[in-house]
Structure 1
Amino acid sequence: MLKRFLKPIKLPASADFGILILRVGISCLMLTHGYAKLSGYLGGDSSFADPIGIGEELSKILTILAEFGCSILLILGLFTRAALIPLIITMIVVVFIVHGPDPFAEKEHAISFLITYLTLFFTGPGKYSIDNKLYR
């Protein structure tokens, strides 16, 4: 079951190349958000919003793991679908809780990430990924 979940879907070469660009591009964009939070945390700043009531520090750590750690996995195409789950959850929290009452313009950035992550979740990592080598 786990192998089937992680196994990439067979696609045409042009689609695989498009998925590679999408996967790496969106991950590099998210890395900037995660790196800023990681740098602040390592510098001693553990203050952060607590949108789901688990504590500021734990919220920040989980967000860093998703935005930084999972983005690195996504760039590599390693455990792609599993890495996308924390990213999708993080963007759902941002869209519906953190920016829930805000106008659409405030949510638009997070919605763009969410749509991309959902698309990658359903397409898989593509041919140009470590997952493809591991789960052929």
Structure 2
Amino acid sequence: MYDIIKLLLYSDLGSDLSNWAMFAFRILLATELFRVHGMKKFRGSDGKPEVVPNPLGLPQFINNLVATLSDTVVPVLVILGVFTRMAVLPTIGITSVGYFVVHKNDSPEVRDVPFMYTICFLLLLATGPGSISLDNYIFNHFFNI
């Protein structure tokens, strides 16, 4: 059990510079996701909430819920570094579907946005948030025996 918790929460990138760089990366990435895509969920360009594409044919409520959470709640969790590796999974799913399904026939200029978000969140999944995070605090305070 300890190994699973360590895998999910522990993240030290080896040096202070690397950990501070990941801290800055997390904040900038999550802020941009929320600012550009999350805010559309509340009010689109015409003042109404964004209509979320549903290319997989999921129930509309589920589709909207996952898209809204991945663009509004996940960025907050990523900024704080709370359960980061688990939190990024919905966003990786949404951006991957955007790249491989929704924008598969679009130009590279359109496809690069979901591609870049997918790559960035995959990096967070692989590395974790670094030691400057609540994940690290939770692990060290409650589980580091």
Structure 1: gaps of 5 or more residues: none
**2:114 & 2:31 partners in 1: Cα distance?**
15
The partner residue of 2:30 within 22, 27, 35 is: 27
**2:66 & 2:24 partners in 1: Cα distance?**
26
Seen in structure 2, the aligned counterparts of structure 1 residues 44 and 36 have a Cα distance that, compared at 3 Å, is closer
Seen in structure 2, the aligned counterparts of structure 1 residues 45 and 115 have a Cα distance that, compared at 3 Å, is closer
1:9 matched residue in structure 2: 11
Superposed displacement of residue 44, structure 1: 7.0
TM-score by length of 1: 0.89
Contact 1:46 1:57 in 2 (8 A): no
1:18 matched residue in structure 2: 21
Give the greater-gyration-radius structure (CA). Answer: 2
2:143 matched residue in structure 1: none
Superposed displacement of residue 4, structure 1: 2.3
The partner residue of 2:115 within 90, 111, 128 is: 111
Q: How many residues align?
A: 134
**2:33 & 2:137 partners in 1: Cα distance?**
25
SS of 1:109's equivalent in the other structure is helix
Contact 1:27 1:75 in 2 (8 A): yes
Structure 2: gaps of 5 or more residues: 141-145
TM-score by length of 2: 0.84
Using the aligned pairs only, state the percent identity.
27
Amino acid in structure 2 at the alignment position of 1:25 = L
